[in-house]
Amino acid sequence: MSAGTTVSRTDTTFRLTELRKLMAVHNVDVYIVPSEDAHQSEYIAPVDARRAFISGFTGSAGCAVITSSKASLSTDGRYFLQAEQELDSNWELLKQGLPEVPTWQEWALREAEGGKNIGVDACLISAAQAKSLAEKLKNRKGGELIGMDLNLVDIVWGEKQPERPKELLRILGMEFAGKSFADKLAEIRKDIEKNKGCGLIVSMLDEIAWLFNLRGNDIPYNPVFFSYAFITPTEAILYIDEDKITEKIREGLGEDVTIKPYNAIFDDIKAFGEVTATSDKKLLVTSSVSWALTKSVDETKISTIKAPIEAAKAVKNETEVEGMRKSHIRDGAAQIQYFAWLEKVLARGDIYDEVSAADKLEEFRKEKEHFVGLSFPTISSAGSNGAIIHYQPEKNTCARVELNKIYLCDSGAQFLDGTTDSTRTLHYGSPTEEEKESYTLVLKGHIAVARAVFPKGSSGFILDILARQHLWRAGLDYRHGTGHGVGSFLNVHEGPIGIGTRMQYNEVPLEVGMFISNEPGYYEDGKYGIRIENVVLVAEKKTPNNFGDKKYYGFETVTMVPMCKRLIDATMLDEDEKKWLNEYHSEVYEKTKSFFKADEYTLEWLRRETAPV
Amino acid sequence: MSAGTTVSRTDTTFRLTELRKLMAVHNVDVYIVPSEDAHQSEYIAPVDARRAFISGFTGSAGCAVITSSKASLSTDGRYFLQAEQELDSNWELLKQGLPEVPTWQEWALREAEGGKNIGVDACLISAAQAKSLAEKLKNRKGGELIGMDLNLVDIVWGEKQPERPKELLRILGMEFAGKSFADKLAEIRKDIEKNKGCGLIVSMLDEIAWLFNLRGNDIPYNPVFFSYAFITPTEAILYIDEDKITEKIREGLGEDVTIKPYNAIFDDIKAFGEVTATSDKKLLVTSSVSWALTKSVDETKISTIKAPIEAAKAVKNETEVEGMRKSHIRDGAAQIQYFAWLEKVLARGDIYDEVSAADKLEEFRKEKEHFVGLSFPTISSAGSNGAIIHYQPEKNTCARVELNKIYLCDSGAQFLDGTTDSTRTLHYGSPTEEEKESYTLVLKGHIAVARAVFPKGSSGFILDILARQHLWRAGLDYRHGTGHGVGSFLNVHEGPIGIGTRMQYNEVPLEVGMFISNEPGYYEDGKYGIRIENVVLVAEKKTPNNFGDKKYYGFETVTMVPMCKRLIDATMLDEDEKKWLNEYHSEVYEKTKSFFKADEYTLEWLRRETAPV
């Protein structure tokens, strides 16, 4: 850690004592606190940050498990350092993916051996997870898995728990959405019919926002709103607090949509389950639907399908594709202004820390057309902080940005016409040979993904090695995936696609119109972090042949920000890689230069940074 | 097809008529004829070639399904052309892997709808396959799946069916096996204990040969012998016809081994199942164990585990590794003699066809120390025959090898100290630009695999794209895997590892000491085939760093035969690829030159072919 940065550790002793009293009252021996909300959201509203409240660990992924005498927090490689810094001595850290380290499920099951009960808020765990856990609990001779209607952490939190947000919705016009709600609904109903369903429960917030062409502001950085939807061949019910909806929105949705209160879905599903008990059609759910939603329905009447809305949403229509391209150019212009400005102020000795620098980046973004907000908290990290993969600088305590230290900036924004996400790693002084070598190895992997050509039907799973191959040859690697799907004015992390080693990525082929990030990295603990991230669009590639009439796909890079010249060791690049880099830089220059007509300094900076290697 | 080559099509009408009569007698509506024998062998003895007999299709993989009026043959991309040439009009070809084409299971289930019975010889299908098929049959409202004790094709075949071979076994000495039977047995017993088993059924012939350090000659090209084994914590029973065993072998095995007749295992397992019915330990089987073997045991008493012998056998000990290296050098010398000789005789106008040429290759191999036989039928294919991936030339009808056509030769041998398998694609005249480009793209993929570095724990699944990436960029591909495990004086195709898109390859990490083939290809139907195959050894690589203390692995190529200079377009190779090629050629020269001390012509040819590009 750099000087001036303090570790923020929460004392959780009192909270745990209170929680354990409640566990005893409710006959719960092992209590699970997942990081997700009732919609399996990755990013959550402050009201739902129960796992952070009880454990003190504020990273976006992880699960806490508490017994009468122990407490464990399981998280993945992105967060090992952060968790070590944030957890107090009440907690045992379970480093996911390391050999011999149990998953939170295994840890909980071990603690429950000998007839002990495991409790969990049934809204915060999926039916499939609950079923699997209950079965294992039985095999291990544990007690019951109790799916609770109330949340014990909420009771401990009490009055200090933030309010559930109630912001007004906004309609996303056809000029941005590109496809009407009616057309989307018709397609989803075809999916319901194809899957022999009598209805589909939709609980993922971005799926609901996409389907209804509505956006909200209930979760920071994610333009979604708390709601459920239930779609049948004849009905479309949106469960949402009515005071979030204006008359205009209600009119816009038309007569096909029924609005009901947020929590009314539980009774509706129960009633629906009873009515359709004799039908040969099934209630369709996806793997993210909570146990609480399906508990009331006979298991044999439920069919879990691959999320049809997630699949449809992942393939952007022409309007969305064009919006993504344009918003990434505007976003690139803001980053170029920022990185050029940062060089100037650092060179003249001005003092900026990670937060005050990032504030300037936000200013540049705010000036751009269609800007709504950031798409995630900016990871502005200097020197060794860059090695904390999902580092979030805090005002007053964060490190200074310095001329002679690597600076990693992972940032993105929400525009009405698109969501952006990119990372640049910069050096404004004289990087060491080691830093240049590491940067160039990461860049070679980035270019290998950007240039990849693969037959239709290929998944992101098989592309992962392209990003890592050069690092591996040097005995290096990084402990995160290489790419995630990106929404269009929606969540910056979006399923079902990804580039990485998760098996689920191998189940979904990349389709033309999908956007995905390309972000290899390398992290030298205690020294620096490197990540190079662009958003790319899956596109058909013209190949000299078309063996097997398969069609061949590749990527079109839409992020428009130069790589860091000072960090590139050009002797490590082959001709194809240099060609890609020079063509990319030329495109960045051409597409963004018009933003700097009245800003000779930035234009000159851009010209220098995009000149051929 | 080249002139002079005739299609060999068998008229199956009478055979099918006879079979259908028997099906009616046994109340079977749909009859399955798998290609495997009772040991799920890939290569089979002539006596077990039931699927070839009934269908006329002689390829090594495929399944026949016969109803009262239809017959279908399902096979994979390697065999599409061959099957089209061999099947008569009684047969429908199901091209596996193409869209909309049903698997043989789906085809059989569809035919069985409406209460019809499916029959199969219970020795020829695994318990897992049978269970899955029976369940689906029930869901589809078909009749019963009948696991038959007799084989209907054998009855149709009658007296003309070949005899079951009864060749004497040979002991594989410690100088070749490297590990004693007693040591292997002790390790397997540990596996049995770890899996809470009371016994392990072993039915794969190469597993039995490996465990007992015995070799046989019952299946052409595979040094195995018909047998079963049953291993318990206290017993080791080898089920084999006693007249295959000499007194010396019996003595060598020691008192720990009981010899019983081949078919005695069925009664033994039945009795064992009854005796252990009250034990809390289970009978261990692997996924390849036949339904016939386990039918008599209560399903809840059986546990299917990953084959422990297959896993142990895949990692070669030091003696085996050294034997594989040495046998590949001798085998390489034979191929070098052959390819040099072929150039000479073709250049002077001698006439050789695919078979007579390959006979010469076998002559060169036979002269080499420890030679036992070929490891598979040599694929000696000229011009367009090379596009038939598993082509087998036939005497008298096969094509001529010509100076100005691509010649593909995929061959291998069994030596006492190792099994070899390699493919070279050659041109002795003036290849076209297209041929050179295709060859060089395949070579680039081959080199990418050969040079790969990857962290310990990586599977062959993730390496597949390395072999295909350059072909894909040109819109080209090949319809087979990139690599298979290779035995040590055992089967040339060996589990559980592989490089390719089969999901099972992703479940097994590559370990130091494993041998695998590296064989990308490209096939232009009707014109030519290209394949470049070396056997490689998984080895630890020294990398400049060791991120995560993971250890990094790569390959050591053990096949020692030059690539074809005339077919390489050196301008398409980058510096790393040229370096690999030149270093490989230099190694080939150094390791094989001593074989040609008295053969100046071959030495000169080798010198020319291994000179740096």
> A465 contacts in B (CB within 8 Å)?
454, 462-463, 465-466
pLDDT of residue A7: 55
Least confident of A56-60, A349-353, B102-106, B178-182: A56-60
Handedness of CA B280, B281, B285, B287 (dihedral sign): positive
Mean pLDDT of B1-11: 57
Residues of A in contact with B479 (CB under 8 A): 548
> Taking residues B480-491, what's their average pLDDT?
97
Q: Is the pLDDT of residue B523 over 90?
A: yes
For chain A, the average pLDDT equals 95
Q: Between residues 572 and 601 of chain A, which touch chain B (CB distance below 8 Å)?
A: 574-575
List the one residue out of A35, A133, A135 whose CA is nearest residue A390: A35
Q: Which residues of B touch A463 (CB under 8 A)?
A: 465
The pLDDT value given to residue B392: 83
What's the pLDDT at A596?
98
pLDDT band at A397 (very low <50, low <70, confident <90, very high): confident
CA–CA separation, B59 and B594 (whole Å): 39
Give the integer Cα–Cα distance in Å for B286 and B300.
15
Contact residues, chain A, for B475 at CB < 8 Å = 453, 543-547, 552
CA distance A410 to A533: 8
Spatial separation of the C-alpha atoms in residues A434 and A436, rounded to whole Å: 5
Would the pLDDT of A108 be above 90?
yes
Q: Does pLDDT of A265 surpass 70? A: yes
Burial of A208 (0-12, 13-18, 19+ CB in 10 A): buried
Would the pLDDT of A533 be above 90? Answer: yes
Query: pLDDT grade, residue A1 (50/70/90)?
Result: very low
The mean of the pLDDT values for chain B is: 95
- Structure confidence by residue, pLDDT tens digits, A434-493: 999 999 999 999 999 999 999 999 999 999 999 999 999 999 999 999 999 999 999 999
Mean pLDDT of A67-93: 94
What tokens appear for A313 in the block?
Answer: 């949403």
Say whether A16 sits in a helix, a strand or coil.
Answer: helix
- The pLDDT assigned to B5 comes to 41
B544 and A464 within 8 Å at the Cβ level: the answer is no
Q: Is the pLDDT of residue B4 over 70?
A: no
Of A465, A475, A544, the CB nearest to B547: A475
Which domains does chain A show, CATH number per domain? 13-160 (3.40.350.10), 170-313 (3.40.350.10), 318-610 (3.90.230.10)
User: Does residue B28 register a pLDDT over 50?
Assistant: yes
Distance CA B573, CA B556 (A): 21
- Chain B CA closest to residue A476: B547
Nearest chain A residue to B546 by CA: give it. Answer: A475
**pLDDT for the residue numbered B7:** 55
Amino acid at B23: M
Q: Is the pLDDT of residue B3 over 60?
A: no
More confident residue, A581 or A273: A581
In this structure, what token pair is assigned to residue A359?
Answer: 């504030």
| B234-274 residue pLDDT tens | 999 999 999 999 999 999 888 889 999 999 999 999 998 88
Q: How much is the pLDDT for B1?
A: 25
Q: Do B472 and A548 count as a contact with CB atoms less than 8 A apart?
A: no
pLDDT given for residue B584 in this prediction = 98
Mean pLDDT of B96-110: 94
Q: What is the pLDDT of residue A32?
A: 98
Integer Cα distance of A130 and A57 in angstroms:
24
Please state the separation of Cα B134 from the chain's center in Å.
Answer: 29
Is residue B370 scored above 90 in pLDDT?
Answer: yes
Q: Which of A331-335, B139-143, B328-332 has the lowest mean pLDDT?
A: B139-143
Residue B453, SS3 per DSSP: coil
Of the candidate ranges A450-464, B201-215, B261-275, B469-483, the one whose mean pLDDT is the lowest = B261-275
Q: Which whole number is the average pLDDT over B14-23?
A: 98
Window 531-570 of B, Cβ < 8 Å to A: 543-548, 550, 552
User: Which tens digits make up the pLDDT trace of A286-325?
Assistant: 999 999 999 999 988 999 999 999 999 999 999 999 999 9
Which range has the worst mean pLDDT, A74-88, A219-233, A564-578? A74-88
- Residue A83, C-beta contacts closer than 8 angstroms, at least 6 positions apart: A57, A59, A62, A73, A75, A93
Here the tokens at position B368 are 């080499």
ipTM greater than cut 0.85: yes
The pLDDT of A424-433, averaged and rounded, is 98
State the angle between helix axes of B104-112 and B127-139 in degrees (0 to 180), rounded to the nearest 10: 40
Share of chain B above pLDDT 70, in %: 99
Phi-psi region of B42 (alpha: psi -120 to 50; beta: other; left: phi over 0): alpha
The shortest C-alpha distance from B503 to chain A (Å) reads 9
B2 pLDDT band (50/70/90 cuts)? very low
Band of residue A42 on the pLDDT scale cut at 50, 70, 90: confident
Q: At B296, which helix (H) or strand (E)?
A: none
Nearest CB to B472 within list A455, A477, A479: A455
Work out the percent of chain B whose per-residue pLDDT is above 90.
Answer: 89
A-B contacts (CB, under 8 Å): 76
Looking at the predicted structure, is the pLDDT value of residue A3 above 80? no
CB within 8 Å of chain B, chain A residues 497-516: 501, 503, 506
Output the pLDDT for position B450: 98
The secondary structure element, H or E, covering residue B75 is strand B71-75
Q: What is the arithmetic mean of pLDDT over B71-89? A: 92
